[in-house]
Amino acid sequence: MKSLLYILIIVFFAILPLSAEEDHIDEAIEIRDSLLETETYEPELPAEQIPETSETVWIREYYPEENTVEPELTAELLPEIFETELVWGFYPEENTGEPEMTTEEYTAGRRRSGIKNRTFEIGFANVRAGFANNFIAARDIFQETAVIDLDNFTRGFDFGFGFDVRPFFINYNFKDRWGFGIDIARIEASGNINIPENLLGLKPANNEKFGAGGAVFADIGIPVFFHIRDFKIKLRPAWFATLVYAEPNMNYTFKTLQKGALLEVNYDMRVFTPFSMEGNTAGTFNSSAIGMDFGAGVEYPLFSRLDLGVNIKNIPFIPSRLKHYTRMTGRAFVNSGEIDFSGLFNGIEIPDEAMGYPENPEPTHGADGINILRPFKSVFYANYRPFENNIITVIPSLGFAVNPLYVKPGSVETGVKARLDLNNLFITTVGIGYEDRLWKNGVDFILNFRYFEFGIGITTQSQNLGKSFQGAGLELNAGLKFGW
């Protein structure tokens, strides 16, 4: 990793002179554009129409090379001539061929107006944290008399939380044409609890899976972007370590028998770690816990006001393997057919065949190992700008996710957002959607003074659409960026 960091530093200082040269090109292009807006060019009088005078005869005698008729310089030809001379003026070594990039290609990657994006930036303590449930909302609690409807609880209970922090990152952006960066020690943590409706309502079921799942990942990533013609390509290779990992593994059964009914819950929970938790001290960190995956994205301007793109998160490459786990297993059941209810009043004890549960559960430890991949997500989106000034952008999205931390790994990702961008100085985004198994209604604000940027956002969320508007869950995010 040290060698990789040295390479990034060398590349950064090697390309700084290019930025200075490109600034001169920017100024020259702006001068050219202002001339085109304010000046008109009248065609010159052809040579054959110039009246014969003593002056014209004298010119032909002493400057015979000027006797040929030159093409007219029109406003249409001026940009091409100006551009070629401009590039050759700053890059004389390229005079033997065509310039590598035309003005149109060069300006396509830049903002048309407003504050330019930073060339170099450093970010600190960008944090996102939240929780959600589908049972109790803020509206139920914050009133004169708190009201809790237990009927809602018997319809199934879901609880989830998430935490994401980027303590430090660096980005370099070369005129919005290409760039790279590094994320250091990014932490992602998430977890969920699911208790099904059948269990809470004592409804018939056969080995219905439920339980709790969660994970904590830490990674180092190198985000990169560049352009290939009109396509914008984004890549983020990352090396990640799994610190804690657990999948839900509990089963519920309720069925009627010839005599009575059977209610049974079996559980086999394993919490995997990169070191052994046996004993009073943790063991040595297992290097095989480090895996690798990729993030990728492609965006294409289909029309002047419409861009289409796709973002893919955590494309697996090398899995993280955890060898150590702590295990809790057991069975709890009630068989009403084996209970003599009349004898209970006479002091008869309930037989072991009628009821059972672990009395003194003790965790066990093992080292069988498991391969772990981070949750995968793929989302298609569009950026539609309905007005010529590009102030407002509408962003619909649709995709899917695969996350084994949930009872049902597959889920749909969809939503729509609207963004207001005032010259890249003040940006606000509002949206509603279904992301990460939650209905989310959020608003984000960004103040960008180029040398300093501050962002903050708030989202109300829940596993239930109606509860997401009532305060059954909340997510907050904030971040700071500095640069020039």
Closest CA to 470 of 139, 67, 226, 162: 139
Which residues touch 411 (CB under 8 Å, ≥6 apart)?
400, 401, 403, 437
CA–CA separation, 168 and 184 (whole Å): 6
More confident residue, 153 or 180: 180
Listed in sequence order, the residues at least 6 apart from 418 whose beta carbon sits closer than 8 Å to its beta carbon are 392, 393, 394, 395, 429, 430, 431
Tens digit of each residue's pLDDT (9 = 90 or more) over 322-336: 989 999 999 999 998
The ranges assigned to domains in the chain are 2-108, 121-380
The two three-digit tokens of residue 339, written as one number: 């209970």
- Return the structure tokens found at 294: 């990729």
pLDDT per position as a tens digit, 235-248: 999 999 999 999 99
Q: Which of 7-21, 177-191, 261-275 has the lowest mean pLDDT?
A: 7-21
At 337 the pLDDT is 85
User: Is residue 18 very low, low, confident or very high in pLDDT (cuts 50, 70, 90)?
Assistant: very low
As a whole number of angstroms, the distance between CA 406 and CA 436 comes to 10
Q: For the chain, what is the mean pLDDT?
A: 82
Give the pLDDT of residue 289. Answer: 94
State yes or no: pLDDT of 80 exceeds 50.
Answer: no
Provide the CA 229 distance to its chain's centre, in angstroms: 24
Q: pLDDT class for 280, splitting at 50, 70, 90?
A: low
Beta-ladder partners of 409: none
The answer, yes or no, to whether residue 156 has pLDDT greater than 60, is yes
The yes-or-no verdict on residue 14 having pLDDT over 80 is: no
pLDDT band at 33 (very low <50, low <70, confident <90, very high): low
Cα-to-chain-centroid distance, residue 142: 34
How far apart (Å, rounded) are the C-alpha atoms in residues 223 and 238?
9
Per-residue pLDDT at 37 exceeds 70: no
In terms of pLDDT, which residue wins out, 30 or 480? 480
What is the predicted pLDDT for the residue at 104?
Answer: 37
Alpha-carbon distance values, 355 to 75, 255, 265, 342 (Å): 94, 15, 12, 17
For 191, phi then psi, to 5°, come to -160, 160
**Of 270, 226, 221, the residue nearest 241 (C-alpha):** 221
pLDDT at site 276: 86
Give per-residue pLDDT as tens, 176-210. Answer: 999 999 999 999 999 999 999 999 989 999 999 99
Name the residue among 124, 111, 117 with its Cα closest to residue 454: 124
| This prediction's pTM | 0.75
State the average pLDDT over residues 42-52.
Answer: 52
C-alpha torsion sign, points 397, 400, 403, 408: positive
Task: Give residue-wise pLDDT tens across range 328-373.
Answer: 999 999 998 888 777 766 777 788 888 998 888 888 988 888 999 9
78 pLDDT above the threshold of 80: no
pLDDT tens-digit profile of 399-413?
A: 999 999 999 999 999
At 30, the pLDDT band (50, 70, 90 cuts) reads low
The pLDDT, as a whole number, for residue 15 is: 43
* Pick from 104-108, 206-210, 309-313: least confident: 104-108
Residue 39 has pLDDT above 60, yes or no: no
Instruction: Classify strands 205-221 and 231-246 as parallel, antiparallel or unpaired.
Output: antiparallel
146-173 average pLDDT score: 90
3-state secondary structure 147-177: CCCHHHHCCCEEEEEEEEEEEEEEEEEECCC
Predicted pLDDT at 36: 53
Nearest to 413 by CA among 444, 380, 443, 389: 380
| Per-residue confidence band for 93, with pLDDT thresholds at 50, 70 and 90 | very low
How confident is the model at residue 113, as a pLDDT?
57
Q: What residue type is 439 in one-letter code?
A: W
Which of 295, 301, 297, 386 minimizes the C-alpha distance to 109?
301
- Lookup: tokens for 61: 């005698």
d(CA 348, CA 426): 75
Q: How far apart, in Å, are the Cα atoms of 149 and each of 90, 135, 155? A: 74, 8, 11
Q: Supply the pLDDT for residue 46.
A: 54
Higher pLDDT, 218 or 28: 218
Tokens for 232, please give them: 């914008």
- Report the alpha-carbon distance of residue 441 to residue 468 in Å, rounded: 7
Q: How far is Cα 223 from Cα 180, in angstroms, rounded to an integer?
A: 6
The pLDDT of residue 284 is 81
Chain segment 438-482, per-residue pLDDT in tens: 999 999 999 999 999 999 999 999 999 999 999 999 999 999 999
